[in-house]
Structures are given as structure tokens and as C-alpha cells.
Amino acid sequence: MTKEIKKYKYLIVGGGMAADQAVAGIRSIDKEGTIGIISSDTDEPYARPALSKKLWVDPDFHDEDIDFHTAQKYDAWIKLATKVTKVNPKKHTIETDNGEEFEYDKLLLATGSEAKTLKGENSERVIALRSKQDYLKIRKFSGKGKHVIVVGNGYIGSEIAAGLIQSDTKVSLVITGDRIFDKKFPIFLSEKYEEKYLKAGIKIYHNKKASSYDLVGDEVKVQLNDGTVLQGAGLVLGIGAFTDYSLASEAGLKVDEHGVVVNEQLKTSVSDIWAAGDIISYPDQILGRQSAGHVRHAINSGLFVGKQMAGVTGTYNYTPVFYSWVFDINWEAFGQVNSSLKMYAETLGDDKYIVYYFDKQTLVGILSWNSDVHLEHLKEILKKRPTIEELDRVINLRAVE
């Protein structure tokens, strides 16, 4: 690993999924240029999605297996537990929360997202899951028949609930909807989700909200909006993420409603500064300008931006796919996947479906449920933006609610 110096050819703010791949991208082109990474995390880059999935269900897979060893692998320098507080584009410097200053030739912002939390005193027993240390803390208060409360109707809440029950933990899952993922999937698929959770022994509290918690001795107490009180050894929150753009906006970079604005090369509005991963507002070739808080986007944009910074010129053309797997359910999706849209299902075989989402007459999103259909093929369909009638001519569609 390179030593600490005061000026780097490539300086990366953030040490997550996009940063790891950006370093790989830089090194695939430039074997010599100095690379520095400054991260507020206490751990080097690691495979974040495993925190709610594989680490809970594969006994031969351990937390050290998720480490990327980025700095060592690519001869970069990394500084951990350090927050970048200011970017000075004119001076080509950044400042950190411990008062240090570093100079750059080319800067990458890859600061990702943070998990939302609820009102309550900070505790090692209340975790809004985002980092490896969060995962390790959950391990401490779960297992061996302990009761853990999970709040959230998104993929993190549903995955960690499934992971915990498969690790000998009693789980209460609090969701805002009628069924798990009812805001995304048609009823017949969200019912399939529910079945798996109920069969596994998870107690689900439907149409409920938790807004705060209290610490009671060694336990956490959560009061739901209907007065129900849940108490357990710990509380895990999967209630969404937010992105802090202040570093970019205070440095004068253009930010819009989606994030830090970048062009097709993932360059920001300020010279010598690029951005990648969750924080960017980028022009997607199929979906238009958007942001995407998904890991494959972080990986692809990171790798792409690293190469750009090292001198390659290209166009970012990856349309992000998001995915989840729990129990024996495996799905991938892209575009708008929202059950308030018109939905049509194609049955491909036993428990294998494609769901097409239409906004009025136009195809806007696709969900692939347990199917083996190549996603690039589905992306090609979305690219053509067929109407319901046009798609129905070639695929046997069934309207679903």
C-alpha cells in the first residue's frame, strides 16, 4: 500500500463499492499514478449487499470474506475513519475533519448514501443497517432464540428479517403495507413473499409505523402507531436511505433533484472532479436523467469513471438493475417498478414470471421473478417503449393487480 503523501494524482472521497471499482478502473489504465482514498468508514471497501444476505445464510462465509483489499490489491493509500469536510476546486485540495489537507490532480466523489434512523438514544442495539460494523453489532444481539424487531418494507428490511430467522433468531417484522413489497409487486407476487416469511416463522405487523424507540435495560422497546408495544434484544431499521450532497454543492458543483449532476462521462460541472455511485444524477440511455441507489450501478459507474479519470473517453451506458434474493425467491428489476402502475404478467413456468409495468400506455419498468431470461434482452424491450397492444401481440400478457 502506498505511503501517505500530501498530493495524489487521483484522490477518491468515499471508500465504498464505487470507490473500489474506480481504483480498479484507474489501475487498468494507469499503473503508476498515485491513488489516495479517504473514507469515513472504519473498514476498507467491502461487498455491502452481503451484509443483509449471504453472511446470514452461508455458514462458510464470514465477514472477512467480503473485504476487497482495495488498497493492497491496487497499490493505493487509504485513510479510514476520516470525513472529507470541504472541497476547494480552485486550489485542487480537500480538507478533512481532523484538519488535514490533501491536494489532487483529479478528484472522485463517491460518498454513497446513509441509512435513515428513528428518534431515540444512540445504542449498539439499534442499527440502521449500512456498514460492516452495523452487521457485526446485529450479530451480537441476535441468534440463540433472541427476539429482534425489524422495521422496513424495502429490500434491506425484508432481507435482514429473512437472514435473522435463518440464524436462529425470533423476528418481528413491522411493515407499512398490506403485504411485503406490496408497493412494488402485483398482489400475487407479494403474497408469495408473505407466505415464505410466515412459513419461516416471522411475525409480521402489517400497516404499522414505528417512529421512535426506548432503551429498557438490555432491551429495546418500540411502540407502533396503533399502540402495539414490541420489545426485543435489538432493533434493525431498513427504512430507507438518504444522500448528503452538501460536500458537492458547497464546492459549487451542480446538484439537481436526483443528485450530483454528471455528464455521460460522469464528469461533474467543475473541472477535474468526477462522481460515481449512489450520489450521481446521470443521463441514463434508456430511462433518462436519474439516480440509482443500486450496487450494480455503483460497480459499473465506478469502473467506468476510473478509466475516464485515467484518460479513456467513453459514454456511460449501463442501465441499473436492482435485485434481491431471500429464501428461494430471486428477482431483478429495472425502470419504474411500482404497483400503482398498470401491470401485466407473462408466465414462463413454475413460479417464473416477468411483470411489465406501464404508465398509461407506455412500458416503463420490468421485473424478472425467478426467471432465467437474459436481462439485456429485457432492456432491449424497454428501450423500444412498446405500448400494451404492441407487446401483447408478441407476448401472452395477463393483466394483474
Ligand X SMILES: Cc1cc2nc3c(=O)[nH]c(=O)nc-3n(C[C@H](O)[C@H](O)[C@H](O)COP(=O)(O)OP(=O)(O)OC[C@H]3O[C@@H](n4cnc5c(N)ncnc54)[C@H](O)[C@@H]3O)c2cc1C
Q: How far is the C-alpha of 41 from the C-alpha of 304, rounded, in Å?
A: 23
Cβ at position 49, least distance to ligand X in Å: 3
Cβ at position 65, least distance to ligand X in Å: 15
Q: How far is the C-alpha of 192 from the C-alpha of 208, rounded, in Å?
A: 20
φ and ψ of 164, to 5 deg: -65, -45
Q: How far is the C-alpha of 362 from the C-alpha of 383, rounded, in Å?
A: 11
Indicate the residue whose CB is closest to ligand X: 16
Nearer to ligand X, 111 or 153 (CB): 111
Stretch that binds ligand X, among 193-201, 256-264, 289-297, 350-358 (CB under 6 A): 289-297
327 binds ligand X (CB under 6 A): no
φ and ψ of 340, to 5 deg: -85, -10
Q: Strand (E) positions, 89-146?
A: 93-96, 101-109, 114-115, 126-128
Q: How far is the C-alpha of 236 from the C-alpha of 132, rounded, in Å?
A: 14
Work out the number of other CB atoms within 10 angstroms of the CB of residue 16.
Answer: 27
Cβ at position 401, least distance to ligand X in Å: 26
SS3 state at 250:
helix
Cβ at position 30, least distance to ligand X in Å: 20
Of positions 8, 10, 12, 19, contacts ligand X by CB under 6 A: 19
Of positions 34, 52, 268, 339, contacts ligand X by CB under 6 A: 52
Of positions 41, 194, 284, 332, contacts ligand X by CB under 6 A: 41
Nearer to ligand X, 334 or 358 (CB): 334
Stretch that binds ligand X, among 191-199, 287-295, 346-354, 371-379 (CB under 6 A): 287-295
Nearer to ligand X, 61 or 214 (CB): 61
Q: How far is CA 161 from CA 147, 205, 364, 379, in A?
A: 11, 13, 30, 31
- Which residues have a Cβ under 8 Å from the Cβ of 278 and sit 6 or more positions away? 18, 112, 113, 241, 243, 259, 291, 292, 293, 297, 298
Cβ at position 167, least distance to ligand X in Å: 15
Stretch that binds ligand X, among 14-22, 57-65, 194-202, 258-266 (CB under 6 A): 14-22
Q: How far is the C-alpha of 338 from the C-alpha of 328, rounded, in Å?
A: 22
284 binds ligand X (CB under 6 A): no
Question: For binding to ligand X (CB under 6 A), which residues are involved?
Answer: 13-19, 38-41, 48-49, 51-52, 83-84, 110-113, 129-130, 155-156, 247, 277-278, 293-296, 298, 322-324
